[in-house]
């Protein structure tokens, strides 16, 4: 059974706030696997304050008579670390700025472990890459880190054709071309069309999700639809 749980040493913030991140709580059954997970949680928690090299060591004290385990997490926060440089690699098509605007960390800002993970998720959600990896490397000084965003480009264009038949328009042929990362700027471009014996339909659209590198979206759509009605006599 767990007894007292404390965080000791040199760390930012309050002990109460840090304890909210751990799973092991007083009165619960002690599990070594939870202890390892809590060390990982605390490391990430303190890293968000800018302490990228924080060290968390668990210390256990067993009270034999009562079968109680007391836990102390000893913290050495290390130096406060800043992001010196962010490098982009592997983007043979996509422009650097398309990736950078998705990052939740900035050059010359405090290191933030959660920001790194959110950055990886946001770049992945673009749908432009097969793989997205973000690694950190030691900078020119002990309080500096460089961030490397390494991506592998994915296929972003698609082309499809089709054919069909219905009683209203007889034979139908269709085609569609789509590019979700036009010229590497992250713009979406679609041109599609279909044609039957009595009608023709074509559409062209373009969307820029970051106008002037802001969160404003601009879209333009042009279409042409024509249908030849059968002649008939009014009775």
**Cβ contact 81:145 at 8 Å:** yes
Determine the straight-line distance between the first and last CA of the chain, rounded to whole angstroms: 94
pLDDT of the residue at 163: 85
| Burial bucket for residue 225 (CB in 10 Å: 0-12, 13-18, 19+) | exposed
Task: Provide the b/e sequence for 163-179 (b: ≥16 CB within 10 Å).
Answer: eeeeeebeebeeeeebb
CA distance linking residue 3 with residue 50, whole number of Å? 31
- Which parts of the chain are beta strand (E)? 2-10, 55-63, 68-76, 82-89, 129-138, 144-153, 157-166, 170-182, 187-196, 199-208, 218-227
Rounded CA separation 223/200 (Å): 11
Which pLDDT does position 235 carry in this prediction? 53
Give the residue carrying structure tokens 């926060």: 77
Q: Are strands 144-153 and 199-208 parallel, antiparallel or unpaired?
A: unpaired
- Contact of 175 with 193, CB cutoff 8 Å: yes
Quote the CA–CA distance of 77 and 49 in Å, as a whole number.
Answer: 10
Instruction: Give residue 205's pLDDT.
Output: 97
Site of tokens 């010229």: 183
| pTM of the shown model | 0.81
Per-residue pLDDT of the chain (235 residues; tens, 9 = 90+): 788 899 999 898 899 999 999 988 888 888 888 899 999 999 999 999 999 999 999 998 888 777 888 999 999 999 999 999 999 999 999 999 999 999 999 999 999 999 999 999 999 999 999 999 999 999 999 999 999 999 999 999 999 998 887 766 677 889 999 999 999 999 999 999 988 877 788 999 999 999 988 889 999 999 988 876 665 555 5
């Amino acid at each position: 059974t767990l007894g007292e749980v404390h965080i000791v040493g040199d760390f930012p913030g309050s002990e109460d706030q840090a304890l909210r991140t751990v799973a092991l709580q007083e009165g619960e059954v002690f599990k070594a696997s939870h202890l390892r997970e809590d060390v990982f949680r605390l490391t990430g928690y303190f890293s968000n304050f800018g302490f990228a090299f924080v060290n968390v060591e668990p210390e256990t004290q067993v009270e034999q008579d009562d079968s109680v385990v007391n836990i102390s997490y000893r913290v050495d926060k290390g130096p406060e670390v800043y992001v010196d440089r962010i490098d982009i690699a592997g983007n043979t098509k996509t422009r650097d700025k398309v990736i950078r605007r998705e990052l939740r960390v900035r050059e010359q800002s405090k290191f933030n472990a959660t920001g790194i993970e959110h950055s990886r998720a946001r770049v992945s959600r673009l749908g432009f890459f097969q793989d997205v990896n973000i690694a950190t490397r030691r900078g020119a000084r002990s309080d500096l880190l460089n961030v490397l965003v390494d991506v592998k480009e994915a296929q972003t264009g698609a082309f499809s054709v089709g054919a069909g038949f219905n009683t209203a328009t007889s034979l139908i042929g269709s085609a569609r071309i789509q590019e979700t990362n036009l010229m590497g700027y992250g713009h979406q471009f679609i041109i599609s069309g279909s044609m039957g014996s009595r009608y023709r339909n074509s559409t062209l659209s373009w969307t820029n999700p970051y106008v002037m590198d802001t969160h404003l979206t601009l879209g333009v759509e042009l279409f042409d639809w024509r249908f030849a009605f059968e002649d008939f006599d009014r009775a």
